[in-house]
Amino acid sequence: MHRYILLPVVCGLLIGSASCERSPSPSQAASVPLSQSMLAPTASVQDIMVSEVDPSADFLWESVGTIVTADGVDQREPRTDEEWQRVRVEAVVLTEAANLLMMDGRRVAEEGKKLEDEGVEGILTAAESQKAIDDARPAFLAFARALHDVGAETLAAIDARDVQRMMDAGEQMDEVCESCHLQFWYPGQVIPEFPDSLR
């Protein structure tokens, strides 16, 4: 009788022991250096740009500003609590996406994938962009950190419900994005001249 009672207990202890070996305790996990952590980049830089940075940046840029049309002046800005919460969500997404861009091991594009607009004159191929980042990684990280910081400034402006501060942060964001793209995406871009009739 005792033998049958002890058997499930022993099995339970063995299973629990094996489980503990596979799953480190919170204190053990906290002691693991970042380079040996559970971080596992899956999405490419291009994935993060298309899925998070671009949509959030566009939403933030379009949420504030002065639009002059034939019908008059449209002053765009969040007004309700729900609208302020929505822009706040997008600012959080953009700010934290910058941290994702800084993770080691993340590739510009998935194997065999092309960059957006690849093939257009002045735009790098995925391989060329990857090499540019590898050769100047400190600069790439600096741009990503600058994006994070301007995202944090946007978030602070939203929390203060300061529309002008949001607009100023939006201009800074545009400068950061364009400067990074000029080095790592389209350094040889060709900007066509406006026809004389449109000048």
Express each pLDDT in 136-166 by its tens digit: 999 999 999 999 999 999 999 999 999 999 9
- pLDDT score of 17 more than 50: no
Band (190; pLDDT cuts 50, 70, 90):
confident
Query: Which tokens sit at 72?
Result: 């008059």
Mean pLDDT of the 105-111 span: 95
Task: Provide mean pLDDT across the span 104-133.
Answer: 94
Question: Which of 149, 46, 57, 163 has the alpha carbon at shortest distance from 101?
Answer: 46
Residue 48 banded pLDDT, cuts 50, 70, 90: very high
CA distances from 179 to 31, 135, 172 (A): 38, 17, 11
Q: Is the pLDDT of residue 12 over 50?
A: no
From 96-100, 143-147, 190-194, the region with the lowest mean pLDDT: 190-194
- Greater confidence, 18 or 114? 114
Rg (CA), the chain: 25
Contact between 180 and 140 under an 8 Å Cβ cutoff? The reply is yes
Amino acid letter, 172: Q
155 touches 166 (CB < 8 A): no
What span, in angstroms and rounded, lies between the C-alpha atoms of 52 and 94?
6
182 contacts 132 by C-beta, under 8 angstroms: no
Burial classification of residue 81, based on how many CB atoms lie within 10 Å of its CB (0-12 exposed, 13-18 middle, 19 or more buried): exposed
Identity of the amino acid at 167: M
- Greater confidence (196 vs 78) lies with 78
Average pLDDT, the chain: 85
Fold held by 40-188: Four Helix Bundle (Hemerythrin (Met), subunit A) (1.20.120)
User: Residue 31: is its pLDDT beyond 80?
Assistant: no
What are 164's strand-pairing partners?
Answer: none
| pLDDT at res. 95 | 98
